[in-house]
C-alpha cells in the first residue's frame, strides 16, 4: 500500500473505533434513559390506580402493554399474563402483603407493586424504546456515519499531501540511480520530510564528490602506470633492435628492472587497497613488542636516508611497548610512512622515526597546507594538489596506510612536525 493509502486507512480505523465507542455509549445512554422514563411512568400509573383498580382501568392498562397482577393477602398471584406473574414473583412483589411498595426490574421486565386493603397488585411492563428514543438513536448513528465518511476523506487528503514530497524524493533517487548527479530535492514540508529531502541532497553531493575523486584518482594512476611502461617499452625496443649493445646493456637492464619494480609496487599497493574492504583480508593480530620491530625498520631506512643525504633519527623508549597488532602489516605501515617522508625531504634535512606510547614519523620537508592535513589519507588528493611542485608517489600510499591502521583497530592522524614538515601519528590498541 502507498503511504497515502496507509494514512487514509489509519484515519478511517481510528474514526471507526471512535464511532463504535461513541455509538455504543450513546445507545446505552438512550436505552438507559428510556428505561428510566418507562419505570417512572409505570410507577406513576401504579400510584394513580392504587385503590381504584377495576375492570375498566385493567383494560386501559393492558392496551398500553402493562399487565396487571393481583396479589392476595395470602401471597397468591393471579393475572392473564403468565410471564408477568413470573416477573412479579421474582421481583418480590409479595412484600406488598406486608404493606411495602416494590420497585424492581426482573428478567427484562419493570415491576411496580402497591399494597391495598385486599393484599396488593403489581403492574408489569416490558420496557421498549419509545419512538422518540428510536429517532434519537437513528440520528446519532447518522451523525456518526457522516463523521466516519469525513474522517476517511480527510485521511485520504492528508495522505496525499504528506506523500507528495516523498514521491518527489523517490523521483530524484530513481534519477540518481540512472546516473544523474545534478538533481536536488526541494526541502519543504514537515520536519521529518524536510530531513529526508536534505539527506537525499547530501547523498547526491557526496556521490558527486566521490565520483569526481575516483576519476581524478584513475587519471593519476593511469599517469603513474604510463611513465614506467613508457620507459620499459622504449629501452626494451632498443635492446630488441640492437641499438643498445656492449657495455650499455647493463645500465639499460637496470633501468628496466627499476621501472618494473616500480610497476610491481604500484600494482601491489592498488591490490592491497582494494582488498582492505573485503571480509577475507588477512590479519594476524597478536601481542607485539614494538621496540624490536621499529629498530629493525630503522636499520633499513637509516641506510636509505644516508644514501640520499637525509639525516635519520630514531627515538625509542627504554621499556617495551606492547600492542595488539599484526607485525607484518605494521611494518608495511612504517615503510609506507618513511618512504613518503624520504621522498619529500631534501638533502640535509631530518627524518625521525619515534616510538613512545604512539608511533610517529616526522620529516623536515615542505609539509602540507593546513587544510590538507584533514584530507591527507584520501586517495589521490595530495597527488593531485602537489604533483607539479614536489616529488609525489602513486597517490595510494597514504590511503593504504590509513586502511591498514584502521583494520588493525588503530587510528592515524596527520599534522605539522616540529622539524618543519609533516608528522604522522599512529595509535594502536594496547595489549591486555
Q: Where in the chain is the domain with CATH 1.10.287.130?
A: 191-275
**Buried b vs exposed e over 52-62: b needs ≥16 C-beta within 10 Å?**
ebeeeebeebe
Q: 138-159 burial by CB neighbour count: b if 16+ within 10 A, else e?
A: eebeeebeeebeebbeebbeeb
Q: How confident is the model at residue 353 (pLDDT cuts 50, 70, 90)?
A: very high
Q: Is the confidence at residue 234, as pLDDT, over 90?
A: no
- Give the pLDDT score at 420: 92
Query: What percentage of the chain carries pLDDT values higher than 90?
Result: 21
pLDDT per residue as tens digits for the range 79-135: 888 888 888 888 888 888 877 877 776 556 888 888 877 788 888 887 654 455 566
pTM: 0.48
Contact 93, 68 (CB under 8 A): no
* Mean pLDDT, residues 137-164 taken together: 71
For residue 238, what are the contacts with CB-CB under 8 A and spacing of at least 6? 244, 252
What is the band of 168 on the pLDDT scale with cuts at 50, 70, 90? confident
Question: For residue range 287-319, what is the model confidence (pLDDT) as tens digits?
Answer: 999 999 999 999 889 988 998 999 999 999 999
Question: Regarding predicted confidence, which is higher, 310 or 272?
Answer: 310
Cell readout for 104 is 424492581
- Residue 350 gets the label, from left (phi > 0), alpha (psi -120 to 50) or beta, of beta
Q: Which of 45-54, 218-227, 255-264, 270-279 has the lowest mean pLDDT?
A: 45-54
User: What mean pLDDT do residues 64-90 have?
Assistant: 83
CATH topology assigned to domain 191-275: Helix Hairpins (1.10.287)
Considering Cα of 189, then 192, then 194, then 196, what sign does the dihedral take? negative
**pLDDT for residue 280 is more than 60:** no
Q: Domain 3-131 is in which class?
A: alpha beta
d(CA 397, CA 403): 10
The mean predicted confidence, pLDDT, of the chain is: 79
From the list 121, 79, 130, the residue with the least C-alpha distance to 97 is: 121
Range(s) within the chain of domains with CATH label 3.30.565.10: 286-427
| Location of each CATH 3.30.450 domain in the chain | 3-131
The length of the chain, given as a count of residues: 432
Note the pLDDT of residue 222. 67
Contact 308, 339 (CB under 8 A): no
> Which CATH number, 3.10.105.10, 3.30.565.10, 3.30.360.10, 3.30.70.1450, labels domain 286-427?
3.30.565.10
Amino acid at each position: 500500500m502507498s503511504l497515502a493509502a496507509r494514512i487514509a486507512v489509519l484515519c478511517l480505523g481510528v474514526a471507526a473505533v471512535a464511532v463504535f465507542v461513541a455509538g455504543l455509549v450513546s445507545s446505552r445512554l438512550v436505552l438507559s434513559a428510556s428505561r428510566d422514563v418507562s419505570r417512572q411512568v409505570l410507577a406513576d400509573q401504579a400510584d394513580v390506580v392504587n385503590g381504584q383498580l377495576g375492570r375498566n382501568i385493567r383494560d386501559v392498562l393492558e392496551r398500553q402493554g402493562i399487565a396487571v397482577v393481583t396479589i392476595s393477602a395470602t401471597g397468591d398471584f393471579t393475572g392473564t399474563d403468565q410471564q408477568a406473574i413470573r416477573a412479579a414473583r421474582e421481583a418480590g412483589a409479595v412484600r406488598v402483603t406486608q404493606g411495602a411498595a416494590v420497585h424492581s426490574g426482573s428478567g427484562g421486565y419493570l415491576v411496580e407493586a402497591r399494597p391495598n386493603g385486599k393484599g396488593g397488585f403489581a403492574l408489569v411492563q416490558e420496557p421498549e424504546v419509545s419512538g422518540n428514543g428510536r429517532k434519537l438513536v437513528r440520528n446519532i448513528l447518522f451523525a456518526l456515519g457522516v463523521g466516519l465518511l469525513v474522517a476517511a476523506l480527510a485521511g485520504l487528503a492528508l495522505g496525499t499531501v504528506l506523500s507528495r514530497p516523498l514521491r518527489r524524493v523517490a523521483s530524484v533517487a530513481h534519477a540518481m540511480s540512472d546516473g544523474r548527479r545534478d538533481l536536488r530535492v526541494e526541502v519543504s514540508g514537515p520536519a521529518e520530510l524536510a530531513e529526508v529531502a536534505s539527506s537525499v541532497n547530501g547523498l547526491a553531493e557526496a556521490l558527486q564528490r566521490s565520483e569526481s575523486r575516483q576519476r581524478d584518482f584513475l587519471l593519476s594512476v593511469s599517469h603513474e602506470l604510463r611513465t614506467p611502461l613508457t620507459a620499459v617499452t622504449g629501452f626494451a625496443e632498443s635492446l630488441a633492435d640492437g641499438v643498445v649493445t656492449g657495455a650499455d646493456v647493463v645500465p639499460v637492464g637496470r633501468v628496466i628492472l627499476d621501472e618494473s619494480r616500480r610497476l610491481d609496487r604500484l600494482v601491489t599497493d592498488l591490490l592491497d587497497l582494494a582488498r582492505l574492504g573485503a571480509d577475507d583480508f588477512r590479519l594476524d593480530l597478536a601481542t607485539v613488542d614494538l621496540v624490536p620491530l621499529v629498530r629493525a625498520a630503522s636499520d633499513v631506512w637509516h641506510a636509505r636516508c644516508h644514501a640520499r643525504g637525509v639525516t635519520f633519527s630514531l627515538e625509542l623508549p627504554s621499556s617495551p611497548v606492547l600492542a595488539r597488532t599484526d607485525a607484518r602489516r605494521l611494518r608495511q605501515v612504517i615503510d609506507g610512512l618513511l618512504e613518503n617522508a624520504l621522498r619529500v625531504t631534501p638533502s640535509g634535512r631530518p627524518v625521525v622515526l619515534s616510538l613512545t606510547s604512539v608511533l610517529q614519523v616526522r620529516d623536515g620537508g615542505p609539509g602540507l597546507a593546513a587544510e590538507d592535513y584533514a584530507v591527507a589519507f584520501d586517495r589521490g588528493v595530495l597527488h593531485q594538489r602537489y604533483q607539479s611542485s614536489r616529488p609525489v608517489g602513486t597517490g595510494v600510499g597514504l590511503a593504504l596506510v590509513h586502511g591498514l591502521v584502521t583494520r588493525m583497530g588503530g587510528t592515524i592522524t596527520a599534522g605539522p612536525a616540529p622539524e618543519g614538515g609533516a608528522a604522522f601519528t599512529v595509535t594502536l590498541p594496547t595489549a591486555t
